Every structure is written in C-alpha cells, then in structure tokens.
Structure 1
Amino acid sequence: MSDVIDLFLNHNDGVYKAGEVIFGSINFNRDEPMNIIELSVKFKGFCKVWFAKSERNPRTIHESFEEYFNKKTYIISGKHLLPAGRHKFEFNCPIPSDVPSSFEGIHGYVRYDLRIALVASGMLTPSIEKTANIKIWKPIDLNNSPYARRPIEYEIVNMHCCMCTRRGTSEVQMKLPVGGFCPGQTIPIEVNVTNPSRTQIEEIKFSIKKDVRYVASTNPTARAVHSTIAEIKKGPIRARTTRHWDLTMTVPAMELHNLEGCRFIHIDYDFKISVNVGGCHETNEQYRPIVFGHIPLAGFQDEEQPPLGPRPHRALSPADFYYHPPATITSQPLGRSSVKVMAKYVLPDDFNLAGTSLSVSPPPPSYEDAMASTTNESKKPSTEETSETITPAPPSNNVMPKPKPEETDL
C-alpha cells in the first residue's frame, strides 16, 4: 500500500517572482480505498530573527517574528471515500506582489512554505503531509531609485604629523559616475592623489562592503554581520608626487535580496575608501552608500550585461490519474492575508490530461534577459565576515539607501 504524496509545481526549481501564481498538482496512489476527512493546501510567508546577546550570557535570547500571509484552503472537507488507484488534484496559489524576497542568513530568514495535508479518518491509517519550500524573488529596478543616478564623490585630506613635527598634507579625490550598479557591470573609479608632503602614502584601498542587520523586538537590540564583496588596492604614492588613475572594479555575481516590507532584516551596501599613510599616522576612511539591482540604469553601460541561460523547468508527470473535478471548497483564513488558494484553475490550452505534461511559460525576464546582451560572467570573490552588536537603527532597504549608522557595542 502506497501512502506517498507527490507534489508537482510548474517551476521545478521552486523559484517564483512576487506577483506570480503557483500552479501545482497533488498526486498519490492507493492500493485500496481510503476514508479521508481533509485534503488541504496551506501557503505561509514569514520572517524570523533570533540570536543571543553574547556567548557569556547565552540565556538572553533576542528574537523577532512577523507573518506576511497565512492561508489554508480545503480541497476536500468532510468524510470522503477515495477509491483505489491513482488520484490527482490541481490547485493554484497567487503570490502577493508586495512581499519581500526570500532570504537565508546567520541570525534570521524570510521563508515561504507550501504544505499539503491528507488527513485520514481511521486510526490505523496515518495522515500524510508534504512541504515545498518556495523561493520568491522581487526584482530591484535601479531606475526607480533617485540615489542610483547620483555620482558618488570623496575628498580625503590628511595632515601628516610625526613626533609633533608637521610633515605637510596630502589630498585624495575620488569619483564614481553613478551610485547604482548591477552584478556583472564595471564601476569606473576616477582617482586623483596629490601628495606634496614629506610622507609616503603606503596604500589606498577601494572596497564594497555589505552589512546585514538583524533587529530583535523581544529584548530589543540589533546585530550586524559585515562582509567584503570586492576590493582593489593601489600604492604606494611617494612624497612630493601626484597620481591619477582611471580604475575599474567589476561587480561580482551575487544574489540580491529586495527586503522592502521586512521590518527585522535590512541589507545595506557601502563603497569604502581607505587611505593608509603608515607609521604613526591613522588610516583615514570614508563610506558612501551604493545600491545594487537586477534592472540597470537606462543609458548607462547598456552594452555591458552579464550572461544568463534559460531557467529549466520540470514538466508534470503523465496524468494517468483519477481526475477529481473541484467540489465546493471551504476556505479558512489563518491570518491577515489577501492570498487565495484555489482548488482548481483554468487549464492552459496546451495541457492534456490524457498523458501530456504541463507546459509552462518561461519566467519573467530578469536583468540579463531584458538587455539581450552577454559578456563573460564575473568571478565571485572570497568574502570574510565578522559580527558585532549595534544600536537598533530605523528600517532601511536596498532600493533607497541611508547613511551608514554609527556602530556601538551593546
């Protein structure tokens, strides 16, 4: 006797864009009749954050939880006898367009679960559950961010003193043409260094920093995880010399998350310049917010787009099942939501229940598909992450960045 439920989705990788509709089918095989009282579909989206304040006091737990939607729909409600054989039920689940992207982090996550449950009426017949983890992505359009078109400028003036003796000043000027880029694009960096002092500048470092901030509502505080996305170095610059560089930094391939609408997890990027004079002098650093997206700025590097192959999809298995027309469905909301799960959907023209698999339309165009031009995919650099506790800051998002908050230990 087979008690295994097979869940098939029209996207075999389980990746959907916010606002799309999930089409699926529930298939199972029985060697003998079965009395059931429930066949239901539950679709849930939520965010959870948790961490301990310190290793010395692990009992103090800081956590947050929020729910974006929670909807359960009954395909079969009430006692029902299923005959022996193969059975198939179809359903669809619309995804709200205003939910944040899926995210998995060290201290929290945003997840979307699709769960089906078959509840038997007899004590000797076990109930069966099946869960699919749905990954939702929400594209970031740089054209909708006013900050993305603004140039980024730096000016760092160093006063060199050693043993109470003035040794002159140096000046570093840097400029980026815009403040928003996509993975695979190159960042043009214009650098002018004037060093009339008697001190050599050992090194100038340019880097992209990523900060993921987790905010706890229970025992309120926040924690940030920092990592370096890309980095280049120049130098040394000898005393009484000037330098001019036209540099380029390639934005590596990386997964972007649009967490707009999430209150407890925030991702920010900064472009950092560090001037290391060496000796008894302190390193001078400056940060500026920078944004990354899926859809590039119109008119900026239109000819430079990273490649993307078509995303494969798995077709449904042959439909040699008992086909159950949709019965009256009782919907039971479990939380605030505008999501509706339907037991039956209008089949596409090319769907054949006699054995032809379900053909699905390709996913919505991504950044690379929309631009229809390819280059070699950039290599992903190694990253180094550190973690520290910071003062809670107001929510921000990747689309419209805010200045980097001051970090303090709690």
Structure 2
Amino acid sequence: MLFDRLKRFCVQLDCPEVAAPPVFSSGESVAGRVVLELSGEARLGALHLHAYGCAKVHWTESRSAGSSTAYTQSFGDQVEFLSLRQVLLAPPDSGGVTVLPAGRHEFPFAFQLPEALATSFEGKHGSVRYWVKAKLHRPWATVRRARKEFTVLEPIDINTPALLAPQAGAKEKPARAWYRNRGQVSVSAKIDRKGYTPGEVIPIFAEIDNCTTRSVVPKAAIIQTQTFIARGTKKQKKSVVASIVGDPIAAGKREVWHGRALKIPPVGPSILQCRIIHVEYVLKVCVDIPGTSKLLLELPLVIGTIPLHPFGSRTSSVSSQYSINLDWLRMGIPEQPEAPPAYSSVVTSEEPIENLPRPCQDEATSVFEGPFFAYIQEFRYRPPPLYSEVDPNPPSDSSVRPRCMTC
C-alpha cells in the first residue's frame, strides 16, 4: 500500500542560511519544493500547493444580564493578505493516477508575495501568520498534508523625516493630601528621534522639579500596547518592555537627566498598517508622588527594522528637504578625512586680512539662489588651484608702509 511506501512528505523553502528561518518581505519571491520519498513504486493522485497568510483576532468576554445571570460573548475578525494555489502534479486524463518509482522526488514551486503585507506577529488575542501547505491525494487512502510556515518582516525605515524628528513634552501635577495642596511636581523630557531599532540605546534628557514637602522617585519605561479590533470593539494588552529607576529627589530639589540610557531589548517592530491588529510603543516618563497618583508623560516611539545610516538625522533632514540622492556624497567622503591646513599656512603674517580678495556682492547673492547641493557637487569636482611662488594678489603700493632708513 502507498501508506507503507511513503517514507517522507514535506515542504522545503529556499533560504540562503540553512540554520536561519526563512524571512521575506512584500513583493519578494518565495521559492521551494515539495519532497516525496517513496520506498517502492506508488500510484499517486494530484498534488496541490496553497500559500496562505492572514491576520486573526479572537477573544471572549463575560457580561452580566441581571442579578444572577451571565452570558459569554465572543469577538473575532479576520483579514486575508495572501491566497495562492498551484497544481504541482496533475494526474493524466486517461487513468486518473500517476505512477512514480521508488526514490526521492521533488516538485519545485515559486510565487511572488503581494504588496502591503503585515509583519508576522503572535499576541494574546490574535496573530499574523503565513504558511505554505501541500496536499497529496492518493487513491483509496486519506489525503496527506504537509505545512511549512515562514516569516514576513515588513521594512520600517527610521531614516525618514517623520521618524527622525525629536520628541519632547512637559507636564505638571499638584500633590494633594487630605484636600490640601502640598506643592506640585513638574517634568519635561526629550528624546533625539521617534524611530529606533532593537538593540539601540535611547538617551533620555529630562528635568524633574520637586516642589513638594516629600521626596519623589522618577522612572522611565518602554510600553508595548497590543490592540485587537473586532466588530467595533477593542481589546488591549499592555506590557513593560524595558525600564529604569532614577534616584529619589528630595523635597524642594531638582533632578536633571543628561542622556540617561535606556536600551531597547529584542522586540517585534511596530504594526501600524493592519486593520485589526496594532502594535505600538511609547516611552513613558513617570514620577511616583506619595499620597497621590503618578505624574505620567508619554513620548511616542516607532520600532523599525532598518537602522539609522552612518550620516544620522542631520543628513536625512537635509536630503528630505532637497530630495537629492546622496549616494555620490557617501562614496566621495573618505572614512578618515584629512585634517584641514593650518591657518598660518594659508594666510601669512606679511599678508594682512584686509588685502585678501572679497567676493563681489552680486556673486555672493547669486550663490545662495540655487539648490544647495548643486554647489556642493560643483565644489567637489572643482580642481585645486595651481601652486605658484608668485603672489596672485600682491599688496598695493599705498598699503606698503615706508621704512625709515635711519632706523
């Protein structure tokens, strides 16, 4: 029987690194093969392949309908991102079965992922999953199934103007005890940018003023919020990803954080484009005030997948303003630039500054009218001036001071 002759039936995906799980992005091609190992000659039916990907959410809530009755209500929804079908082995029209000899047989397949996919995710009330499933139909036997999951990681580039913008905020809160005002606590915080990648360190710049009569404790934490949406109802799950605790601040004192470091652990990227599942992050700076609720200040974060390039936010902001491709600039600047020449080697003591040529007013105004990077590129390809022992700008006779012969 075929059940005894089918030794192996599996789906394999092509991956550059064998040990690493296959990871893809939207628009990429997924290739692999369905492997059959037979111990003897076997009669097979059709072999179908189904690639599928979807986001699902589901949870239940107990609601009270009276003093002694209660009922359970379920919430669920699903969004389909991928659904492709292929026939890898079709039986002939005459017999309806295909006879394969003993040994190993491979059936290759390939398909392209569509655009606008969501990153793979596993949460408490929902998930985003992708897989490839193969079905082998056999005469007079049950259908054999093989399944292989793969990961989709949608790129989030933090080198965009929106994610490179600094984030700042300020809040204050009065400290009350027994309806009496005990002063107030204020906090102001700032971070360099909105987008970060796992493994980076967030430098926190904060200032906490304690104008109360008791000491307070400042804290900072990265909060992950998972939001699940179904039938117009939301279900959220919040968790602390990383946190730090500052030193207590005495009454009437001020504490300043000069870039207090908070490292981002390995976490999943933000999911903002899925209709039923959102994964968001915030940096929360809070102050524990005795006798009253905490003072909370939240700064939004986006966890991306493409890290900050070597030029940092300054180059990104300039390039976004002028929409210029900076590949030539990155290739032209060496890793270790040469030191600039000394001032004495450019202007000697015998040549006063007044005698240096000054730019014409018309030329100076026309330089700043065109695009900024056009002049950088022009300067980059301009050859250096020729060396000469003759001063191209000799001092005029009127500026030469006569010497006294008797001295």
Aligned partner of 1:254: which letter?
P
Aligned partner of 2:11: which letter?
L
Residue from 105, 110, 117 that aligns with 1:92:
110
Question: What residue in structure 2 maps to residue 42 of structure 1?
Answer: 50
The separation in 2 between residues aligned to 1:24 and 1:228, in whole angstroms, is: 39
Bigger radius of gyration: 2
The separation in 2 between residues aligned to 1:59 and 1:138, in whole angstroms, is: 36
Change (3 A) 1:89 1:41: same
Check conservation: 2:204, 2:260, Cα contact below 8 A. yes
Check conservation: 1:15, 1:137, Cα contact below 8 A. no
- Residues 173-200 of structure 1: CA deviation (Å, up to 9, x unaligned): 22112122111111111122333x3513
Are residues 1:131 and 2:142 paired? no
Question: What residue in structure 1 maps to residue 355 of structure 2?
Answer: none
The separation in 2 between residues aligned to 1:58 and 1:35, in whole angstroms, is: 53
Q: CA deviation at 1:37?
A: 2.9
Residue from 1, 6, 10 that aligns with 1:6:
10
Q: Which has the higher contact order (CA 8 A, sep 6+)?
A: 1
Are residues 1:148 and 2:163 paired? yes
Question: What residue in structure 2 maps to residue 110 of structure 1?
Answer: 128
Tell me, which stretches of 5 or more residues in structure 1 are unaligned?
Answer: 303-410
Tell me, which stretches of 5 or more residues in structure 2 are unaligned?
Answer: 65-69, 315-407
Change (3 A) 1:169 1:49: closer
Question: What residue in structure 2 maps to residue 334 of structure 1?
Answer: none
Question: What residue in structure 1 maps to residue 32 of structure 2?
Answer: 24
Aligned partner of 2:5: which letter?
S
SS of 1:236 mapped into structure 2: coil
Are residues 1:157 and 2:172 paired? yes
SS of 2:163 mapped into structure 1: helix
Note the aligned Cα RMSD (angstroms). 2.4
Aligned partner of 2:295: which letter?
N
- Residues 133-184 of structure 1: CA deviation (Å, up to 9, x unaligned): 122111211123x432222222222334444544444432221121221111
SS of 1:290 mapped into structure 2: strand
Q: CA deviation at 1:239?
A: 2.0
Aligned length: 295
Check conservation: 2:270, 2:281, Cα contact below 8 A. no
Question: What residue in structure 2 maps to residue 69 of structure 1?
Answer: 82
The percentage of counterpart residues that share the same residue type is 23
Residue from 229, 245, 254 that aligns with 1:233:
245
TM-score normalised by length of structure 1: 0.66
The separation in 2 between residues aligned to 1:269 and 1:96, in whole angstroms, is: 27
The separation in 2 between residues aligned to 1:14 and 1:165, in whole angstroms, is: 61
Question: What residue in structure 1 maps to residue 235 of structure 2?
Answer: 223
Q: Which stretches of structure 1, 4 residues or longer, exceed 6 Å deviation after superposition?
A: none
- Residues 344-376 of structure 1: CA deviation (Å, up to 9, x unaligned): xxxxxxxxxxxxxxxxxxxxxxxxxxxxxxxxx
Question: What residue in structure 1 maps to residue 277 of structure 2?
Answer: 265
The separation in 1 between residues aligned to 2:142 and 2:44, in whole angstroms, is: 10
The separation in 2 between residues aligned to 1:84 and 1:186, in whole angstroms, is: 59
Report which of the two has the higher share of helix.
2
The separation in 1 between residues aligned to 2:45 and 2:281, in whole angstroms, is: 51
Greater shift after overlay, 60-69 or 3-12?
Answer: 3-12
